[in-house]
Structure 1
Amino acid sequence: MEHLPHATGGCVYIVGAGPGDPGLLTTKGARFLSEADVVFYDDLLDPRLLELAPGTCERVYAGHRGGRPADSTRRQDELNQQLVEAARAGRRVVRLKGGDPYVFGRGGEEAIALRDAGIPFEVVPGVSAAMAVPAYAGIPLTHRGLSQTATLVTGHEDPEAAEVDWAALAKLGGTLVIFMGSRNAGAIAKALVAGGRQAETPAAAIQWGTRPQQHTLLATLGTLEDTMSEAELRSPVLMVVGDVVEQREALEWFEGRSLFGRRVLITRSREQSRPLRLMLEAEGGEVFELPLLHLTGPENPAPLETALSELEHYGWVVFTSPNAVRFFFDPLQESGRDARALG
């Protein structure tokens, strides 16, 4: 990341963290996060992202997620003021948001508040759930011969009262990606059918997209409400409507990995668990670390030091573990020698 700019004090970096998989964070976002003095982070973010921040970094839970509760405007105003105050104190501020800050993320509201307060800011785009979640479910947004357009819409309001023109979206065709619509799935499906979309139109509901807990349901507009209700599918859910959904059978890759849906506990020391964790996660496992070991050198190093000084008298050196190798060679190298001392 040497070619990337460094974070500067008094500036707010509005960083998109992606939809769930921490590997989807951009390198620029990771750079600013690694240099932050304070991070304001949303709900649903993978906690491993916060591990990228320095140990001295203050972590502030902002608590934002889909939908807008009655007090959301007040809470947003309070958060905007916190961002302003942190920047005015000369701190390097990261506002870490799920997905992309400018796609149903209220990032624009925060940027306007910073501008009005005279605070410099930078927006680091993130991988939007609109693209990543369907891709992890094996559903392309566009596909030659099936869909040449993709429309993003929020579904958290009742279609009968919402500002969204569902009838117009029904006539538009193509792929429809619906954010925050799980509570209104039935009403949305009915509104689309009433607007002219066929009840047999393929539809998918994807819960916890891009994460090891991902759950994908296939249905049609006519059966979507019942299918989600029977599965008790709850937020966070992204819904996709359109003929592209039928490509899942051929393009699904994420949920078919060997450890998908399994939880794995690693009890090795934290220093040694990372390679194993990465391997297990690559196979789809949800990995937890609970270090039960803490490795230290011998309480009395004298016998080892004596043995190292008399290596020429030994015909064999037997190592019982990788840790034994490390505790043998570290003092050997500290004495100015290396493996050549073994003869």
Structure 2
Amino acid sequence: MEQLGKVYIVGAGPGPADLLTVKAHDCIKEADVILYDALISRDVRTLFPENAELIFVGKRAGDGVDVTERQNSIHHKIEKHAKQGKVVVRVKSGDPMIFSRGAEETSYLQEKNIPFEVVPGISAFNAASAEFGIPLTDRRGSNSLHLLSGRDVAGKLLSVKQLVSILENRGTAVIYMGTKVLEEIYEALDVVHRECIQATIVSRSGRWDAQKFKGTLQEMVSLNSETPVKTPALIYLRMEC
């Protein structure tokens, strides 16, 4: 009977190694095999043990590789090494359960009866908020927080009706992977909402070239059209009137 190893799905946070949790650091140190993404910083990669097998499984939107095929390949690699009795650490940027396909990987491991544990990480929306002093909630004007994706897995634009409802009810909306659809969102809004929505875009939070841009939604659309904001980037939206 084969002796199963264990899989740790670890959130590496926004980039700086000192923002890793203690548990994440411990898992990395004990790894026999590490599968890591394109957004894992050099700072974090320096912590990878010399004797661990390192497998790069990076993927970026729009790179021409079939997303489903590549994700299945990752699943099979994790399964293969776990069934060899190894400690497998799947390192993902941010938090593995927020827009990071962590749910797909945990579902696959459950289906295969492979022991696993999820180790949370600091997500980009938290990191950027702390780095640039962006309030996520504020009793004076925002009583809820909503994380959205610019497009769904099928490529469909987020629901502008849902977004307007969030903002009208004094919520803060944080849009991941949204800079490429920012103009589409703007065009789908009526004139009143276009004028009242304030936007903050944070580019490459946690990195040396991190930047914050703030203004009306129209100003941010114009800025992003003239010189596209470097990704990864987040968009924070609130209603100001």
**In structure 2, C-alpha distance between the alignment counterparts of 1:229 and 1:188, rounded to whole Å:** 13
SS of equivalent to 1:199:
helix
- Report the Cα distance in structure 1 between the residues aligned to 2:161 and 2:178, rounded to whole angstroms: 16
Matched, 1:169 2:163: yes
Is 1:93 matched up with 2:121?
no
Q: How many residues align?
A: 235
Contact 1:66 1:236 in 2 (8 A): no
Contact 1:39–1:58 under 8 Å retained in 2: yes
TM-score by length of 2: 0.89
Asked whether the 8 Å contact 1:40–1:96 carries over to 2, the reply is yes
- Who is 1:185 aligned against? 182
The answer on 1:214 being equivalent to 2:191 is no
- Superposed displacement of residue 89, structure 1: 0.6
Identity %: 36
SS of the equivalent of 1:226 reads helix
User: Closer, same or farther in 2 for the Cα pair 1:109/1:66, shift >3 Å?
Assistant: same
Would you say the 8 A contact 1:157–1:184 is kept in 2?
no
Higher RCO, Cα 8 Å, sep 6+? 2
> Equivalents in 2 of 1:140, 1:175: separation in Å?
9
3-state SS of 1:242 partner: strand
What is the rounded CA distance, in whole Å, between the counterparts of 2:93 and 2:183 in structure 1?
26
Cα displacement (A) at 1:229: 2.3
Letter in 1 for 2:181: N
Partner AA of 2:160 in structure 1:
W
Structure 1 unaligned runs (5+)? 1-7, 245-343
Alpha-carbon distance in structure 1 between the residues aligned to 2:129 and 2:39 = 18
Q: Secondary structure at the match of 1:15?
A: strand
Deviation at 1:10, TM superposition (A): 0.4
Q: Please give the per-residue CA displacement for 1:117-159, whole angstroms capped at 9, x wherever unaligned.
A: 1110000011111211122122011112021111100004599
The one-letter code of the counterpart of 2:21 is T
- Does the aligned pair in 2 maintain the 1:182–1:234 contact within 8 Å? no
> Partner residue of 2:135?
140
Greater fraction of residues in strand: 2
Equivalent residue in structure 1 for 2:36, among 34, 38, 41: 41
Match runs of 1:22-171 below 5 Å: 22-65=17-60, 71-156=66-151, 162=156, 164-171=158-165
Residue pair 1:9, 1:93 contacting (<8 A) in 2 also: no
TM-score normalised by the chain length of structure 1: 0.64
Cα shift readout 1:32-91 (whole Å, capped 9, x = no counterpart)? 001101100011111221222221011111113457956000000010000000100111
Residues in 1 aligned to 2:93 and 2:62: alpha-carbon distance in whole angstroms: 14
Q: Does the CA-based 8 Å contact 2:15-2:44 persist in structure 1?
A: no
Instruction: In structure 1, give the amino acid aligned to 2:204.
Output: W
* 3-state secondary structure, aligned to 1:176: strand
Helix, strand or coil at the partner of 1:12: strand
For the residues of structure 1 that align with 2:63 and 2:71, how far apart are their CA atoms? 10
